[in-house]
Amino acid sequence: MNRKKLIFLGSKPIGYECLSYLISQQETIEVEIAGILTRSRKEFGNAHDLTALATKHGIPIISSLDDMPECDIIYSVQYHEILKKVHIEKARDIAVNLHMAPLPEYRGANQFTFAILENKHEFGTSIHKIDPQIDHGDILFQKRFSIPEKCCVADLYELTYKASIRLFQQSLAHLIKSNYYSVPQEALIARFGTSIHYRKEMEELKLIDLNWDKEKIERHIRATSMPGFEPPYCIVNGKKVHFSMQ
C-alpha cells in the first residue's frame, strides 16, 4: 500500500485533538504520520501533551523545522513558527494550515478580539495552503457561522474551536486524496476585506478609556476578557484598575 507521508506540526488542545483524530484515521485514509513537531505548553496540562500522544503511537518527534524530512503533506495546527520557503518545499504535494478565523478577513493573531471590537456578525475557520506570508495562501476548506449577540471572546473562541475540529475531521480524507478546490484569497478581499494582526497589539487593546461611551467600554471588555490572561484595565492615579466580566 502506497501511503501518503504526513508531517504534523501543532500544539495546544486543538493540535492534540486533531492529531488524535488523524492517528485514529491512518488506516482508513491511507496515510502515515512520519513525524510531529510541537512545543510543550504546560498551561494546558498533561491531558493535551502531543509529545506523549505521539510517543504512545510510535510517531517520531522531530526537533526542528530544519530537521524535517521530505514528505507528501505538511499539516500545521496552531504551530508557533512561521515556515520558510525551504520548509514548505519539503512537502511534495501540499503544506496546509488550520487557521482559527475566516480568511481573508483575519490573518495573524487576536482574531477573536477584533471580530468583537468590529461588531462582526459572522466568524469562521479556514484551512489554507501555506506560503511564506502569514495566513496568505489559497483557501481549501472553510466553515462560517454566526456570532451570537453580546458574544464574549472566550465564547467566540469556544465556538471556533468546535467548528475547527469539525472542519479538520470533515476535510481530512479530501485533503489526503487531493480532492479540493483552491480559492486565492485575493479573489475574496473585495467581498470580505482583509487585515493582519499581531500578538503585541493586545496590551494596547486592553487599555480602556473611561471617556468612551458605555457601549464601547462594554464591547472592549467583552473582546479582551480571556480567562488565563490579564483582564482589560483603565489607569486611575497612575495605577491599573482591572475590569471583570462578573
pLDDT digits (tens, 9 = 90+) for 34-93: 999 998 755 556 678 999 999 999 999 999 999 999 999 999 999 999 999 999 999 999
Residue in this structure with the C-alpha cell 495546527, named with its chain if needed: 77
- What's the pLDDT score for residue 164? 98
Q: Reduced to 3 DSSP states, what percent helix, strand and coil does the chain have, rounded to the nearest 5?
A: 40, 25, 35
* 183, 139 Cβ separation under 8 angstroms: yes
Query: Please, where are the H alpha helices in the chain?
Result: 12-24, 26-29, 50-56, 85-88, 111-117, 153-176, 189-192, 202-205, 214-224
Domain boundaries of the chain, sorted by first residue: 4-197, 202-242
CATH number for 4-197: choose from 3.40.50.170, 3.90.550.10, 2.40.30.10, 1.10.1040.10: 3.40.50.170
Nearest to 156 by CA among 118, 195, 111, 207: 111
> Between vectors from CA 186 to CA 183 and to CA 192, what angle results, nearest 5°?
95
> C-alpha grid cell for residue 103?
480568511
pLDDT at 1 over 70: no
Where residue 244 falls among pLDDT bands split at 50, 70, 90?
Answer: confident
Mean pLDDT of the region 192-209: 94
Where residue 2 falls among pLDDT bands split at 50, 70, 90?
Answer: confident
> C-alpha grid cell for residue 70?
521530505
- What's the pLDDT score for residue 245? 75
- Helices 214-224 & 153-176, crossing angle to 10 degrees? 50
pLDDT, tens only, 121-179: 999 999 999 999 999 999 999 999 999 999 999 999 999 999 999 999 999 999 999 99
Q: In percent, how much of the chain has pLDDT > 90?
A: 92
